[in-house]
Each structure stands twice: as structure tokens, then as C-alpha cells.
């Protein structure tokens, strides 16, 4: 039995307004949403790494809004475009990935996609199902649709050329391949981040050329990272991963700057629009403690990816560790085959630092504690078989023990 399409004004307004920046063509998309006909909503994903974070989830949550309204979500796995590398916002050429790397990353991506999307209601397709059949004549036909000036007419290419930085001959082809995906999946709507607008428009252009109804385009706001300055990303280490533990998620949310609270409620939670508006108002009027709102935000996020019980436990641990200064109840035990010679060796062995130089620097700057007490001597010897807890910062705790002692 066909799924009923939601056409009420409230649902449509939520889809059109929540976290959106640009819609082309908004009037036409609104008309199509009210028609009651199911739309095919496309998102292209380049699996360039194994993990997703809350920044990626902004687009996935928009897809879920369409999905909840009865529309069909189509995920295009960019196993060819990932090998080229998206040039968007790049000041240099991105290293190309192998087919093996792409497949490995995709397996991890799909596990995380369905933390948000309904798997049974999601269509997943691979670019290779059509691009593996491409011949040289197909490539020339696709390239002939645009001029060189059109393909280079994007800010990132212009900036690199003006700076004397090379643009790879293959890079402008990226947007053409993404555009061709829209033809193959017969996309009615394509979503992406604001910096993806150039690529999304090429899909609309190509559909027009092929006498296919052009897709509507929706760009979404970019989630600012934990540093409060740059967009969330692994390269800046300012992210919350979808696979972070509930306790880690909660603690990271509590570290965001107060001014980002409304931004996070809108982009990372499923609170009703009216409630998000009320939160913004209360913050502006200074009638609520930002800490209390952040605690609620953290609970909402952890509940989305785990459950209410996990969120409650994460909150209690946060209160114990950061407000009452009590050690966490559950601390990972690192079993060592031999006892570390010094504190610096122990810090590296527990992965609280990734090198001896980093460990020494962190210790000397007061960034490492032993059983809750700061220790600034990297050469300090540790008593064997003692119940030692090492910590770095506010969230990283490790207990060390010898393997033979543990058995």
C-alpha cells in the first residue's frame, strides 16, 4: 500500500524553513510538496573517511523530514566522485582515494546513516552502476555540455588560479559527474551544504538539457564546530562523532560556546520549531541560565543517538566529574605487557598522547593528572600495580594495569 504523503502546511513549512539557507525554486517546491505526489530526494555522499559527525547529520535530518512526510530518500554513494575528490572550498588538490578505500569507508558510512534514516524507506545506489559502463564517447558527450569557462566559474577555482595554485584537469569534472547522478536517479530534489550550490545547480542544468524535469535545490546551514569559529570537521578536531559514546557526546556539547546554543538546537535536534524559537527568545531576554539549556541540549542529542537512559547516565557522570569533581564510575582499563618507565611513557601507552614529544609537552603544561592531581614531571616514575587513573583534560580518563596482574 503506498505511503500517505503529508501535505499539511505545518509539515511543509518545517521542511522548507528548518535549517535551510537557499531553495531553488521555493515556490515550485512548495507546490510539489502540496501535490501529494512522492518526491525523490537525493543526497550524494562521498565516503572520503570512515566516520560521520553532527555536521553531516544536518543533511541527514533534513532527509528524515522528507522521509517522515512520505517522500523517497535516495542516497547516491559517490564511489567515483570520491576518487576524484570534491574541490569545494579546497585550496589545493585533494588526494585521490582507491576503490578499496572507498568501499571500506562506505560500509562504515551506511551503518551511521541508519542511525537517523529509516533503512527500509531509503534507496541506496552506487555511481559505479552507471559510470563503470561509460566509454570515452560518453565522457566526451558529457564534457561537451559545458564550456571551460563555465566549469571554472567557481570561487574556489578562481582563488587558486589567482594565487598561482594549480587546478587539476580532472577537478572540474567532479560537478559533471554529480550532475549526471541526478539524471540517473531522476531526482526531484537535491540537498547539500551551502558551499555545494555550484555542484547542485549543474544537476539542474543537465536535467534541463536532457528534457527531464529539473530538480529543486535546497542548501542547508553549516554546523559550527566546538571551537565556535569554524565549521564542524575532523581536520579541525572540533566535532562530535555519531559513534562517540553517550558520555563523550554529552561532555562535548557542554563545551560549546553559549552563543551557539540556538544554532545547535535548530540544526542537531528534533525539537518543534516553536520550542526552538522560544529558546532563542529566552536566551536573548536573559531569563534562562545557558548552562541549563546546554544540559538539555546534550540530553536531546544523546537521546537521539542512544536513548533517554543513556542520556540520563551521561548527565549524571558529567555532574559528578565536572561539578562534584568525582572520578567517573566507568573508566577504561588499559592492560600493559610491561610497566611504563615514566609518566610520559604511560601517557603514550594509554593513547592520551600519540607521541613522546606530545606527552612531554602536555605533562609540562599541566595537562595530565594522576588520580586527580596535576603532575608536571614527565620523567616521574609510577608505583607498580598501584590503582592509577591518568586523565587528560575534562573527558579523557584511563586506568593502567599489567596483563599478568589482571589475569
Edge to edge, the sheet with strand 368-370 lists 332-336, 396-402, 388-392, 368-370, 373-374
Sorting pLDDT into bands at 50, 70 and 90, what band is 155? Answer: low
pLDDT greater at residue 250 or residue 51: 250
Sorting pLDDT into bands at 50, 70 and 90, what band is 367? Answer: confident
Tell me what pLDDT residue 2 has: 63
Q: Between vectors from CA 261 to CA 256 and to CA 262, what angle results, nearest 5°?
A: 150
Average pLDDT rounded to a whole number, residues 4-31: 96
Q: Between vectors from CA 168 to CA 167 and to CA 171, what angle results, nearest 5°?
A: 95
Average pLDDT, the chain: 87
Average pLDDT rounded to a whole number, residues 153-170: 67
Sorting pLDDT into bands at 50, 70 and 90, what band is 94? Answer: low
Tell me what pLDDT residue 91 has: 44
Tell me what pLDDT residue 92 has: 47
- Of the candidate ranges 155-169, 289-303, 386-400, the one whose mean pLDDT is the lowest: 155-169
Residue 104 has pLDDT above 90, yes or no: no
Residue 407 has pLDDT above 50, yes or no: no
- Of the candidate ranges 20-29, 111-120, 388-397, the one whose mean pLDDT is the lowest: 388-397
**Percentage of residues in the chain with pLDDT exceeding 90?**
51
Q: Express each pLDDT in 65-77 by its tens digit.
A: 999 999 999 999 9
Q: Would the pTM count as exceeding 0.85?
A: no
Amino acid at each position: 500500500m503506498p505511503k500517505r504523503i503529508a501535505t499539511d502546511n505545518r509539515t511543509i513549512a518545517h521542511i522548507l524553513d528548518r535549517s535551510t539557507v537557499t531553495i531553488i525554486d521555493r515556490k515550485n517546491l512548495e507546490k510539489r510538496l502540496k501535490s501529494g505526489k512522492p518526491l525523490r530526494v537525493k543526497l550524494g555522499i562521498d565516503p572520503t573517511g570512515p566516520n560521520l559527525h553532527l555536521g553531516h547529520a544536518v543533511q541527514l535530518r533534513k532527509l528524515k523530514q522528507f522521509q517522515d512526510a512520505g517522500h523517497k530518500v535516495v542516497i547516491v554513494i559517490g564511489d567515483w566522485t570520491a576518487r576524484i575528490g570534491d574541490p569545494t572550498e579546497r585550496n589545493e588538490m585533494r588526494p585521490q582515494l582507491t576503490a578499496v578505500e572507498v568501499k571500506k569507508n562506505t560500509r562504515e558510512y551506511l551503518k551511521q546513516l541508519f542511525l537517523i534514516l529509516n533503512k527500509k524507506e531509503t534507496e541506496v545506489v552506487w555511481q559505479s552502476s552507471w559510470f563503470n559502463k561509460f566509454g570515452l564517447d560518453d565522457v566526451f558527450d558529457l564534457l561537451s555540455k559545458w564550456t571551460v569557462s563555465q566549469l571554472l566559474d567557481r570561487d574556489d577555482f578562481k582563488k587558486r588560479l589567482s594565487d598561482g595554485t594549480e587546478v587539476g584537469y580532472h577537478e572540474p569534472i567532479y560537478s559533471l559527474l554529480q550532475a549526471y547522478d541526478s539524471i540517473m536517479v531522476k531526482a526531484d530534489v537535491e540537498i547539500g551544504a551551502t558551499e555545494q550550490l555550484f555542484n547542485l545547480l549543474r544537476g539542474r542544468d543537465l536535467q534541463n538539457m536532457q528534457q527531464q524535469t529539473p530538480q529543486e535545490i535546497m542548501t542547508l546551514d553549516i554546523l559550527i564546530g566546538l571551537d565556535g569559529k569554524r565549521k564542524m570537521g575532523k581536520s579541525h578536531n572540533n566535532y562530535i562523532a555519531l559513534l562517540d559514546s553517550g558520555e563523550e557526546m554529552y561532555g562535548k556539547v557542554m563545551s560549546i560556546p553559549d552563543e551557539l546554543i540556538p544554532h545547535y538546537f535548530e540544526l542537531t535536534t528534533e525539537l518543534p520549531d516553536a520550542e526552538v524559537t522560544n529558546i532563542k527568545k529566552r536566551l536573548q531576554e536573559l531569563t534562562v541560565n545557558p548552562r541549563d539549556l546546554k544540559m538539555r541540549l546534550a540530553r536531546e542529542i544523546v537521546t537521539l543517538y542512544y536513548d533517554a537512559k543513556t542520556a540520563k547516565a551521561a548527565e549524571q557522570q558529567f555532574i559528578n566529574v565536572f561539578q562534584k569533581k568525582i572520578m567517573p564510575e566507568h573508566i577504561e582499563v588499559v592492560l600493559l605487557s610491561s610497566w611504563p618507565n615514566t609518566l610520559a611513557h604511560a601517557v603514550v601507552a594509554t593513547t592520551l598522547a600519540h607521541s613522546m614529544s606530545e606527552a612531554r609537552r602536555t605533562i609540562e603544561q599541566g595537562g595530565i593528572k594522576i588520580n586527580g592531581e596535576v603532575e608536571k614531571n614527565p620523567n616521574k616514575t609510577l608505583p607498580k600495580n598501584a590503582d592509577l587513573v591518568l586523565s587528560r583534560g575534562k573527558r579523557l580518563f584511563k586506568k593502567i594495569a599489567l596483563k599478568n596482574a589482571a589475569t
